Amino acid sequence: MVCILLGNGFEEAEAIVPADLLRRAGVQVSLTSLEGEIVTSSHGIGVKADVTLSQIDPAAVELVFLPGGLGGVQAMGEDPRVAQLIHQVQARGGYVAAICAAPTLLASLGLLEGKRAVCYPGMENEMAGAKCRPSVPFVVDGTIITGEAAGSAFSFGLKLVELLKGSEAAQKVKDAVHYHG
């Protein structure tokens, strides 16, 4: 299962586009709020979560995904359950994905030390220990996937599909949505 964490202030496109692409590929995706049923995005859009973080079984999570949006990233950073889930998933060899401002949270947890990564342009100074790659939509380094920004949501989401379901599944989804990037 993919667990997409949503804190108030998350960036809509960075969460919803990958969720949609993954679901089209047949991946079980859980939009997971830190608490409560409705999470308000950075642009005031209320999104109904599937579950709350307290309802997630960490052993069932094969990929934990943190969308950006400064408010959402701050909320995730202040919730110790988020770091605990990330560490549990990573310890089992599962994937950890973050896009835009969210890779800075992974850096603050020490997960990007010596790893290639990308983040929202201008936030590289918050990527402690990472080898930042500017101007690329995403970077995969082992089991950590980082993405640049909202404009990278389709490329990033399709890469997640490829990692979980294979390149043929990713191509089918890409064709179905007529993505030309």
Q: Which of 3, 100, 119, 132 is catalytic?
A: 100
Closest CA to 164 of 48, 69, 65: 65
CA distance 165 to 145: 15
Angle at 100 between CA 3 and CA 88, to 5 degrees: 35
Q: Reply yes or no on whether 3 is catalytic.
A: no
DSSP character string of 1-45: -EEEEE-TT--HHHHHHHHHHHHHTT--EEEEESSSSEEE-TTS-
Count of C-beta atoms within a 10 Å radius of residue 73: 27
CA–CA distance, 26 with 39 (Å, rounded to integer): 24
The Cα 70–Cα 52 span in angstroms is 20
Write out the catalytic residue numbers: 100
